[in-house]
Structure 1
């Protein structure tokens, strides 16, 4: 009996061993279990079983990591152990694809083909992996071109008119040259539709890419790897409803008033904007990498990379809530044409309400309009981001089979980015075509614009040393020095050239230019001096330099042949930067001088630094059938960079700011169990306790939780493979859970919805409840073909993907999560 009981407690099948995963987590090849850091890795077999095609396909199965992607194409950000990635600032992790660092954030959330391995490192990795790797690194390896002809074709068909396709072929071009070509395509109507336009224009998307790769091996010790990729995407954008948090508005008792104080988790989404939102993106990338094996055993590696991207979107605006266009004929006519035929009593449509004087910006008649309404009263919002970057790195690495191992290198990066955000009138005619929106939207429709060119130049040197103190004890030291020079220059025409607008009038008719009265205001409020309402004829260029040494030290002890214990400490760094010029002046005038619930961010957001400690273990137990890993960590962050929208009569402003002091602490556990030869179980859990210790921008948020940081994440996956002759049946059941999450520093606070003395808003209804998602894949395959049925969000869990809070607006913008989608995938290998 004792023997039987013991058998129930231990993994049984002696032959069902877990595979060893070899990683490059420390810029050299070694077993995953030997790395003195927390790493989640997915092998080639796991990638195929999981059906990984995009970043979100593996992020959900990575403990301690969450992702948001709700505004526009590729505009994604990761939270890694509570370390946030701020839109419009710097990414918080290093993205390495086939040994090359990609600095454009759009490179992450896209289609991937021929993936061989994925590694997600947590904790500061700048000392080894480079720029802005304050929270971690994501390392991807793809299949190299082969000297044998091979390829695959994969197509899938799913609900919502969702179609994907992938084709790749590889083979020799000569005895020393091999090439690979690939193309991919994805199209979907999305989960939601616009009830006013009666069209699928809420979250529809279409994208394609073509890529080529050549590997030239002139000798056994020298290799050149060249890649070229072009992609284009067109999708909807700004899939949001307004979510108000103003309890006093419920007092009216009229239909729809309950929607002004509603838990975001209870929101019924209605998309009814009169503008078809369009987001377009075009990207071209080129890289070349050289590896040279040296006679003394070391390796010289050098690479260069170039990227050119253009991203534009136009969408419905937010100004209807503030009556900014209330007096225009277009707004008045659109309201008259809607009522009474279209008056849904929910945010997203027109909500009939009394219009007392304390409701800021009430529209004409008796209506309070939400953003993105079916009227022209909202205007347009428009954004363009054009980025061109070039980078180069050279690195010398010692041989691996020696007691003292080292590497050293240098890095250079140049980025030129132009970013413009504009608000424009909606004249009620057909909305502007892309051809009518040049690089800067200086048209008669424009009422406000920020438009700047940002130049960044980076120089860095780095190195590391690992020394085997004994056969079981290793000490590693690494350091990196980054120096970043930033410049910003304004592209908005000067008011001295007559570039005025009669709609945004910061000066109340009292502006002067060179001592002469100025009717109206400049397109960009940065020209205005609010002390005496004079207008400058120019906006001067600005520059700043940021630099930081990033040390890291780690100690690894092989306690047994199957158990490793490690500890590490490191410094993370993200350079600061500039806001679009004019942003600070706008916030100061509307939200500080006439509100007071927020301090205006300076035109410069500060560099972010962090100090991170970690202690953990790795173990392979029961003849390599059970793998247990765990870690505890503690991180102090100074000037955490944080992205937020500011909303008002001026429309939307995208800004990056700083949270002065943050503390993050928690633990992580993961397990993999080869239960039998055919059945494997993977589990993961991470808890992160993040607290705001100081926040000068909003002092009352001290003690709140770190935004965009789930209380915990958990994941589980059951993988089954059963060979039957030449066939294999396979199935995978995945579950992931994300705990309660706040997406802003303002949380259960009561804050005036400022904008000239608005009513108090209570933001305790803005926390997103935890939710769990289940995915299923079932299929049959041979070495040559496979057929797979799949379902994402199998049980159709309803959840909120993100809440972008705008406290001065009296609420925020809510984006819904994905719904269930069922489909089938076919693949043919040759």
Structure 2
């Protein structure tokens, strides 16, 4: 919904104010940390709370602490490092944090994973939660689309690794991204930044803060980004996958005393690019009849793709593209020092509007001429918590309440080329069978959640601390899925009809209507023990029992033989998580060197995934639960700053993420499309045209999608004293690089969708004065590496493979000023 009545929404939010704390406020740390605010430093080491001794201040446990004192794994990226490296959204941030993975074919089809888990590929379903929580100034953002927006006036970002269920909420089984913006100040200050580069890149950011009275301060900020698209669509004559982003934020702080303050914040972000299209990558043999595979189907319609080289960045997709996206809201945060601690209330209302159009056939043929699923979401959250210290006990107690309403109106329309592409026999030669076939979908979700939580840190001795945590959570979800299908003649497509044309039509777009409800209670708990082995050396070990809430299927479910929806597939069980982690955080050489090491293992039972058959005896894939997955590995973060003139960092991770047991998985394309095996038959070899295909595939032991075994980020910056335009300062040269090994880009690993490993290299050369002026040139992907962010397998088993190429080399100039 649009912010048509923010005043009413704020009143409603305030009325719920006594019910909600834990989703958004804990920060955790395990990473390096050194460099003055204007300098580039390791992502795990730059923060607004940095002190002269190089330490980073965080609030992972609802109180200010240095990062090295918190027994948790976290990457901390300061606002200056974000600006200097061009990491203006989560997609760019992943180049600085090796265990963060970001995949997005459009804002709604976005996945953010940490350590290989969070959400599986291909699960765009409003009834299912993400496993990585995103929080901005203590407010939970339930839509992962928010990860595609520009960061706005950000002071610090913390990427918390591992389950954070006790303080951050139920759906943080993989971790959390905690974003803190710059707050209003009683000293007048401002900052501005403008950038220009190739591909028509233009970006401007500015903020202004200062007092309105002795007790009131305000802050205003905006950001705007524009860039030409990176793919040339020869059909429309436009460059697609462009950037067109606008962000605004306003905050007012009232501080009547040193013990009490209230901040009212409002924000609005908009994206309106022509996006999001793919390029042709290649084909791979499936088990469909050879005449029904891509090459034969394309030849039958005299179709030839515009380019077989994906890195020519040419496409000919012919359906309308749009990724219109609005997100905004208001929040009221109050802090009151009372008794031995601080009482905090965070009340928020947010909305998200999504206006997409896609080309679902991924070709220049009019097979699917319209595919759009506009969606409107509102959410209300209320968090109330009390954090303090009594003797040797630090504690946090709280409550959290959440309500979400989602309304989606989907439409898919088939075109005149659909019959030849999708049907067989005589009907395939009649374009009118599928031309104009239309599905109109009404999808609704009402989602309510409430929780009580607490965490205690007991300093048994000066060296030994025990930290238990507990969360009790209630979830209720009510969903509706209603798909009405009509053909080009205006007839209703139903399961009652025996007309061969309608039978063929409902095989392409199937009508269905069902309502579904889910309700459950869950308990999360964790226990962390930490011990100071020596000065500046902390060892810790954690066990966490967490969960990701169950859900409802809102993308349709299988039908029985009579065409009735199988309601047993309407709900999905919660994921159950067992997590073990141990680590050491150490500083040496007068705190000029920091090394943090963490080893982890996470087992997830009832992993939410797309399955085939399961207990239902049907061939159609649907969202359900795989038996078990596991991710385990080791992370190392190292930063060294021998002098104020030089700093360097290396962060690395080895991650082994696998399906431990998954026997009902959809098969990869090379084993799909043929006649399903019967009793006594064996599947044909992979890629056998006209062969026999298994009903489903056992992929136990295979790698999870999107997981690189090895990932690294690394960089350095050196500076020398310099004088420019009469200003004293430093000239500097900075470098940031990243590497990741190969990974699967399909939920079931396929020989056709492995993405080769790649490395990216970014440079900056510039000058910054001692009083806030800066100018630097930058190059990102400086060596113009060709790489894919994602490969996709369109439905239909034709063997077509399409992809999303990563950005080519970009370069430009940035001017900064602070006052």
TM over 0.5: yes
Question: Secondary structure of the equivalent of 1:316?
Answer: coil
Pair 1:459-2:450 in alignment: yes
Tell me the distance in 2 between the aligned counterparts of 1:196 and 1:500.
29
Question: Any residues of structure 2 matched to 1:2-401 within 5 Å, and which?
Answer: 19-69=54-104, 71-73=105-107, 75-86=109-120, 87-88=124-125, 89-200=128-239, 202-242=240-280, 243-246=282-285, 270-294=314-338, 296-318=339-361, 371-373=362-364, 375-399=365-389
Question: Any residues of structure 2 matched to 1:412-423 within 5 Å, and which?
Answer: 412-423=401-412
Verify the 8 A CA contact 1:18 1:673 in the aligned structure 2.
Answer: no
Question: Any residues of structure 2 matched to 1:242-641 within 5 Å, and which?
Answer: 242=280, 243-246=282-285, 270-294=314-338, 296-318=339-361, 371-373=362-364, 375-399=365-389, 402-426=391-415, 447-490=438-481, 492=483, 502=491, 509=498, 525-527=510-512, 539-580=513-554, 582-585=556-559, 602-641=569-608
Pair 1:789-2:777 in alignment: yes
Relative distance call for 1:114 and 1:520 in structure 2 (3 A) is closer
Verify the 8 A CA contact 2:470 2:523 in the aligned structure 1.
Answer: yes
Q: Which residue of 1 aligns with 2:41?
A: none
Question: Secondary structure of the equivalent of 2:358?
Answer: strand
Tell me the distance in 2 between the aligned counterparts of 1:519 and 1:245.
26
> For 1:148-199, what per-residue CA distance to the aligned partner results, in whole angstroms no more than 9, with x for missing partners?
2221221111111111111211111111110011121111112111122222
> For 1:635-694, what per-residue CA distance to the aligned partner results, in whole angstroms no more than 9, with x for missing partners?
111122347999xxxxxx997543321121111111001133211111011111122122
Tell me the distance in 1 between the aligned counterparts of 2:367 and 2:235.
15
Q: Which residue of 2 aligns with 1:729?
A: 731
Relative distance call for 1:503 and 1:696 in structure 2 (3 A) is farther
Q: Which residue of 1 aligns with 2:753?
A: 766
Pair 1:801-2:789 in alignment: yes
Tell me the distance in 2 between the aligned counterparts of 1:672 and 1:21.
13
Relative distance call for 1:99 and 1:316 in structure 2 (3 A) is closer
Relative distance call for 1:206 and 1:581 in structure 2 (3 A) is closer
Give the Å deviation of 1:131.
3.5
Question: Secondary structure of the equivalent of 1:56?
Answer: helix
Deviates more, 1:791-800 or 1:191-200: 191-200
Verify the 8 A CA contact 1:448 1:523 in the aligned structure 2.
Answer: no
Verify the 8 A CA contact 2:527 2:542 in the aligned structure 1.
Answer: yes
Verify the 8 A CA contact 2:516 2:571 in the aligned structure 1.
Answer: no
Tell me the distance in 2 between the aligned counterparts of 1:644 and 1:403.
50
Tell me which stretches of 4 or more aligned residues in structure 1 moved more than 4 Å: 247-257, 264-269, 491-495, 498-508, 517-524, 643-646, 653-657
Give the Å deviation of 1:117.
1.7
Relative distance call for 1:655 and 1:217 in structure 2 (3 A) is farther
> For 1:801-828, what per-residue CA distance to the aligned partner results, in whole angstroms no more than 9, with x for missing partners?
1123357524443211111111111122
Verify the 8 A CA contact 2:318 2:359 in the aligned structure 1.
Answer: yes
Instruction: Give the TM-score, by structure 1 length.
Output: 0.77
Tell me the distance in 2 between the aligned counterparts of 1:118 and 1:775.
20
Tell me the distance in 2 between the aligned counterparts of 1:416 and 1:522.
31
Q: Which residue of 2 aligns with 1:326?
A: none
How many correspondences in the alignment? 694
Verify the 8 A CA contact 2:497 2:503 in the aligned structure 1.
Answer: no
Verify the 8 A CA contact 1:94 1:131 in the aligned structure 2.
Answer: no
Tell me the distance in 2 between the aligned counterparts of 1:689 and 1:522.
39
Tell me the distance in 2 between the aligned counterparts of 1:54 and 1:480.
31
Give the Å deviation of 1:94.
2.1
Give the RMSD, CA atoms, in angstroms.
Answer: 3.6
Pair 1:708-2:706 in alignment: yes
Runs of 5+ consecutive residues of structure 1 not aligned to the other structure? 1-15, 319-370, 429-443, 512-516, 528-538, 594-598, 647-652, 748-762
Relative distance call for 1:98 and 1:409 in structure 2 (3 A) is same
Tell me the distance in 2 between the aligned counterparts of 1:816 and 1:381.
22
Verify the 8 A CA contact 2:493 2:511 in the aligned structure 1.
Answer: no
> For 1:334-393, what per-residue CA distance to the aligned partner results, in whole angstroms no more than 9, with x for missing partners?
xxxxxxxxxxxxxxxxxxxxxxxxxxxxxxxxxxxxx321x3233221111211100001
Q: Which residue of 2 aligns with 1:10?
A: none
Deviates more, 1:296-305 or 1:780-789: 780-789
Runs of 5+ consecutive residues of structure 2 not aligned to the other structure? 1-50, 418-434, 614-619, 666-696
Give the Å deviation of 1:572.
2.7
